């Protein structure tokens, strides 16, 4: 590993572990159900004290960005990613609708390098989206860490590809996680994302994404594999909702 690459990894490890944006994005969904009983709280406290959580503790990078439903580009939402960097080419993220303790788990995203993406079957590539525009536009942020560290992280992410599935559609279902998992996509050009949504996010986090766009002008924009972002070519992939079962009269 060369010295520059090692330095980037050390900086990221040190700053991402401590980076935090605070509990300033509450969930918009109130999950139905009874309040926690005392016995539940005791069990919860005991588990927190006695059980290890290595996979959860490995989620040491926080990214804030935006997704839309594949095939429905106007149905957009903010997505809070908590990620584990498995190695230099694979990152796995859990996605929440907020960054507080009440946040609801919306889905997952897998992020891989361009080299690994190039080796995927063509049909598989259609499920993935590029990150070039998200990074270069300033839409994708790593709140709470120094800008130099964020810049280094964005240099790492700009050429990657993500596959994202949402399982709790908190923008549509304000109660339980209903419906089929949905494939999500990322924005690829100016004029696609709702500027009001971006502006509200920026105000809440105290970050100017347009300034981040300017500061990332020196990050090279790699070419995008033509098989990614298949929605732009009209290739929409979603899991259809099951057809309702026909009503049958009970036998007499």
Confidence (pLDDT) at 28: 78
Q: How confident is the model at residue 49 (pLDDT cuts 50, 70, 90)?
A: low
The secondary structure of the chain as a DSSP string is --HHHHHHHHHHHHHHHH----S-S--S----SPPPPHHHHHHHHHHHHH---HHHHT--EEEEEEEEETTEEEEEEEEEEEEEE-SSSEEEEEEES-SSTT--EEEEEEEE-HHHHHTS-HHHHTT-EE-HHHHHTT-SB-TTS-HHHHHHHHHHHTT-EEEEEES--TTT-SSS--S--EEEE---STT-S-HHHHHHHHHHHT--HHHHHHHTTTS--PPPPTTSSGGGGT----PPPPPPPPP-PPP-
The two three-digit tokens of residue 9, written as one number: 């990894």
Mean pLDDT of 131-149: 96
Q: What is the pLDDT of residues 79-135, one digit of tens each?
A: 999 999 999 999 999 999 999 988 999 999 999 999 999 999 999 999 999 999 999
Percent of the chain scoring above 90 in pLDDT: 67
Using CA atoms, how far apart are residues 113 and 220, in angstroms rounded to an integer? Answer: 15
Instruction: Please choose, from the candidates 179, 183, 182, 165, the residue with its C-alpha nearest in 3D space to the C-alpha of residue 230.
Output: 183
Q: Given pLDDT bands bounded at 50, 70 and 90, which one contains residue 11? A: very low
pLDDT at 183 over 70: yes
| C-alpha count within 13 angstroms, C-beta hemisphere, residue 185 | 26
Range from 63-77, 101-115, 237-251 carrying the lowest mean pLDDT: 237-251
Contact at 8 Å (CB) between 81 and 143? no
């Amino acid at each position: 590993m060369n010295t520059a690459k090692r330095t980037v990894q050390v900086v990221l490890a040190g700053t991402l572990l401590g980076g935090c944006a605070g509990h300033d994005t509450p969930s918009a969904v109130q999950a139905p159900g009874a309040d926690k009983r005392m016995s539940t709280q005791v069990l919860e406290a005991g588990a927190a004290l006695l059980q290890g959580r290595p996979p959860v503790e490995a989620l040491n990078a926080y990214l804030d960005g935006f997704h839309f439903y594949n095939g429905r580009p106007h149905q957009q939402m903010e997505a809070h990613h908590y990620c584990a960097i498995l190695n230099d080419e694979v990152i796995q993220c859990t996605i929440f609708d907020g960054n507080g303790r009440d946040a609801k788990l919306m889905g997952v995203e897998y992020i891989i390098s361009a080299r690994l993406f190039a080796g995927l079957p063509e049909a598989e590539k259609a499920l993935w989206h590029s990150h070039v525009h998200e990074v270069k536009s300033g839409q994708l942020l790593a709140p709470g860490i120094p800008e130099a560290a964020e810049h280094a992280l964005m240099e790492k992410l700009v050429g990657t590809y993500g596959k994202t599935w949402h399982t709790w559609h908190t923008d549509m279902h304000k109660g339980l996680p209903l419906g089929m998992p949905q494939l999500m996509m990322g924005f690829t050009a100016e004029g696609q994302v709702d500027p009001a949504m971006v502006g509200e996010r920026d105000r809440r986090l105290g970050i100017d994404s347009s300034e981040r766009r300017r500061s990332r002008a020196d990050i090279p924009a790699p070419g995008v594999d033509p098989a990614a972002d298949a929605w732009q070519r009209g290739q929409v992939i979603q899991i259809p909702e099951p057809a309702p079962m026909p009503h049958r009269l009970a036998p007499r």
